[in-house]
Chains A and B, each alone.
Chain A
Amino acid sequence: MRRGTRRRVGLWLGAVLAGTFVTMALLSFVWTPWPYAAMDIAQKLRPPSAAHWLGTDQFGRDVAAQLMVGARTSIAVAIVAVGIGMGAGVPLGLWAAATRGSWIDEVIQRGGDLVFAFPSLVIAILITSVFGPSAVNAILAIGIFNIPVFARVTRGGALSLWTLDYIRAARLAGKRGARISVEHILPNVANLLIVQGTIQFSLGILAEAGLSYVGLGAQPPTPSWGRMLADSQTLMGLAPQLALFPGLAIVLTVLGLNLLGDGLRDLMDPRLRRQA
């Protein structure tokens, strides 16, 4: 198969996988196969069947419905975290690039290094130790970790643009740094940001799953994939399928988003193509 074709297949596969889970999440607002919180102890720990497609959990709740609503939690947390990262990181990155070499640039960069020393799990631990666990903490922890990621990508992309002739022309025309950043630099780093956004989205879903697995994320009764896995752990000998489905959901969503990100990267800017 030719390289281009293979990449295109990845892009479409990624779009379909990611699209499926977003659709599932959206659909769960209006329809789930069963009410997701409805318990039926008589029907507990059933294997997949025609009535319960993916079986039932230890309280007899429908696993498929839980997964659909869980997708909502994962996607919401990851999207807001990407929003926080972009909202704060992109202006910082633009600012750093506009003042490249100055102390402002230095402070922004070293600040980013510092945040990288706090993995999102550690941020979540800190926040939780004081405010208690919640989905908001998970969002904050992942979002804070995203800020330097976007600041770096923006700064890196913007630096090379600042040396170009049309930017110099804008300078000569009397435009100030902030205005050039917004009018000329930002549109040209948008591609980079979309690709990075996809990657951080998938990392956010993984991080949210990890946080809610250890109890630092969304709290009951809000279903989340991570906590479904945590709940299934004590039942692994009895009903291993409960450990299977939420994990598969995470893997397929993350895989889809990664493929989508790689595909978009090639599509938008062949120069960024990974060595392949």
Chain B
Amino acid sequence: MPRYLLSRLGSLVLSLVVASVVIFVVVQVIPGDPATFMMGLNATPDTVEALRHSLGLTGPLPLRYLHWVGGMLTGDLGTSYTYRVPVAGLVLQRLQVSLPLTVYAMALSSLLAFPAGMLAAARRGRGADLAVMGATQLGIAVPNFWFAMLLVIVFALRLHWLPAGGFPGWGGGLWPGLRGLTLPAVALALPQAAILTRVMRSALIETLSQDFIRTARAKGLSQGQAVRRHGLRNALIPVLTILGLQFSFLLAGAIIIENVFYLPGLGRLIFQGITQRDLIVVQSVVMLLVAAVIVVNFAVELAYVLVDPRLRR
């Protein structure tokens, strides 16, 4: 176990380093001089030079890279060129929208997919299974941002049940905040739930054909008991893998969905960064997103070990 952990930890650090180099090279090396790029063509040499100094863009590239990475590790993500404030503060503020949104969507998607997948697996080949599979086939084909627009038309513009966009913040309590995030979370969750349902179903079917399920049935458990006590745990590994993968898709999806609902999250921050040529913001936020994906997948691999003791060697 310690050896396994150590080697996984090693590859985690390596991935983070390589990812940070790639991002740094794309953002700071390829455009030539970032300061000139950010100021545009009409800037005088003096103003470009001033910007270069204020952003710490002087000195050789390797030093600048180390400075950036060192800063990230100590919570300093650089200074936004347009907002003139530390990027870390902006990110923290935006995370209060993006993180709850992603978690909310993941919870909804799991709540929907687990029972649906179990139902389909238990009723394999029958009406309920066909209905679930048909629904997932459709769910996979629907772009989440279009689904979001349909939700707005029906639940916000026609029925007036939920707000069409914007976010009131968490200051007014939990409920107004959750209300603002409900339509975005549903839009994010449904296509993901379709994929998760399929994985859940096929993992369960695979597990249910194993000998130990037959043994469990033979010792007198009902099919439902056998599934709950022995089937679920064994079907969990592929489901966990997909949940980990989905986290990255949810984060990416959240970026798009935030634009549909005008939510002040990380996604809006990135797009504002792009349109305003605020490279520091883009660089740091992209690194954070990629790091989140890498760390979550690392956590998933650790979770395998918890679910399956055979991997603890």
Which residues in A have some Cβ–Cβ distance to B below 8 Å? 3, 110, 113-114, 116-122, 125-130, 202, 206, 209-210, 213-215, 229, 232-233, 236-237, 240, 243, 246-247, 250-252, 254-255, 258-259, 274-276
B273 to A: closest C-beta gap in Å: 7
Q: Which residue of B lies closest to A236 (CB)?
A: B153
Note all chain A residues with C-beta closer than 8 A to B255: 121, 125, 214
* Interface presence of B36 (CB below 8 A): no
Q: How far is the CA of A119 from the CA of B286 in the complex (A)?
A: 11
Q: How many residues of B contact A (CB 8 A)?
A: 52
* Residues of chain B from 87 to 123 with CB closer than 8 A to chain A in the complex: none
Option from A119, A229, A274, A276 in Cβ contact (under 8 Å) with B146: A229
Q: Among the interface residues B149, B150, B248, which one has the most CB atoms of the partner chain A within 10 A?
A: B149
Contact A122 B19 (CB under 8 A): no
* Interface presence of B299 (CB below 8 A): no
Option from A110, A121, A213 in Cβ contact (under 8 Å) with B252: A121
* Residues of chain B from 5 to 26 with CB closer than 8 A to chain A in the complex: 11, 14-15, 18-19, 23, 26
Which residues in B have some Cβ–Cβ distance to A below 8 Å? 11, 14-15, 18-19, 23, 26-27, 30-31, 37, 125, 133, 137-138, 140-143, 145-146, 149-150, 152-153, 157, 201-202, 205-206, 245, 248-249, 251-252, 255-256, 259-260, 270-271, 273-274, 277, 279, 282, 286, 289-290, 293-294, 297
Contact A121 B256 (CB under 8 A): yes
Contact B286 A122 (CB under 8 A): yes
Contact A113 B290 (CB under 8 A): no
A259 and B252 contact, Cβ closer than 8 Å, known pairs A214-B259, A251-B142: no
Q: Which residue of A lies closest to B31 (CB)?
A: A130
Q: How far is the CA of A275 from the CA of B18 in the complex (A)?
A: 38
Q: How far is the CA of A213 from the CA of B259 in the complex (A)?
A: 9
Q: Which residue of A lies closest to B165 (CB)?
A: A233
Note all chain A residues with C-beta closer than 8 A to B293: 116-119
B194 to A: closest C-beta gap in Å: 11
Note all chain B residues with C-beta closer than 8 A to A119: 248-249, 251-252, 293
Note all chain A residues with C-beta closer than 8 A to B152: 236
A243 and B270 contact, Cβ closer than 8 Å, known pairs A119-B248, A119-B251, A119-B293: no
Q: How far is the CA of A202 from the CA of B142 in the complex (A)?
A: 11
Q: List 18 A-B contacts (CB under 8 A).
A: A117-B15, A118-B19, A118-B293, A119-B251, A119-B252, A122-B252, A129-B274, A206-B141, A210-B256, A213-B259, A214-B256, A229-B145, A229-B146, A243-B149, A247-B150, A251-B143, A274-B202, A276-B133
Contact B270 A125 (CB under 8 A): yes
Q: How far is the CA of A123 from the CA of B258 in the complex (A)?
A: 18
A126 and B150 contact, Cβ closer than 8 Å, known pairs A117-B15, A258-B140: no
Contact A129 B273 (CB under 8 A): yes
Note all chain B residues with C-beta closer than 8 A to A276: 125, 133
Contact B249 A258 (CB under 8 A): no
Q: How far is the CA of A274 from the CA of B136 in the complex (A)?
A: 14
Contact B142 A126 (CB under 8 A): no
Contact B143 A209 (CB under 8 A): yes
Option from A118, A125, A206, A237 in Cβ contact (under 8 Å) with B143: A206
Q: How far is the CA of A246 from the CA of B149 in the complex (A)?
A: 12
A275 and B202 contact, Cβ closer than 8 Å, known pairs A117-B294, A121-B255: yes
Contact B141 A117 (CB under 8 A): no
Q: How far is the CA of A116 from the CA of B249 in the complex (A)?
A: 10
Option from B11, B145, B260 in Cβ contact (under 8 Å) with A110: B11
Q: How far is the CA of A215 from the CA of B259 in the complex (A)?
A: 11
With A116-B293, A122-B252, A274-B202 known, 19 other A-B pairs at CB within 8 A are A117-B15, A117-B293, A120-B252, A121-B255, A129-B273, A129-B279, A130-B31, A130-B37, A209-B143, A210-B143, A215-B271, A229-B149, A233-B260, A243-B153, A258-B137, A258-B140, A275-B202, A275-B206, A276-B125
Option from B15, B245, B260, B289 in Cβ contact (under 8 Å) with A114: B15
Contact B142 A117 (CB under 8 A): no
Q: Which residue of B lies closest to A251 (CB)?
A: B141
Note all chain A residues with C-beta closer than 8 A to B27: 126, 129-130
Note all chain B residues with C-beta closer than 8 A to A118: 19, 290, 293
Contact A213 B145 (CB under 8 A): yes
Option from B137, B145, B206 in Cβ contact (under 8 Å) with A259: B137
Note all chain B residues with C-beta closer than 8 A to A110: 11, 14-15
Q: How far is the CA of A276 from the CA of B123 in the complex (A)?
A: 11
Q: How far is the CA of A243 from the CA of B164 in the complex (A)?
A: 15
Q: Which residue of B lies closest to A203 (CB)?
A: B140
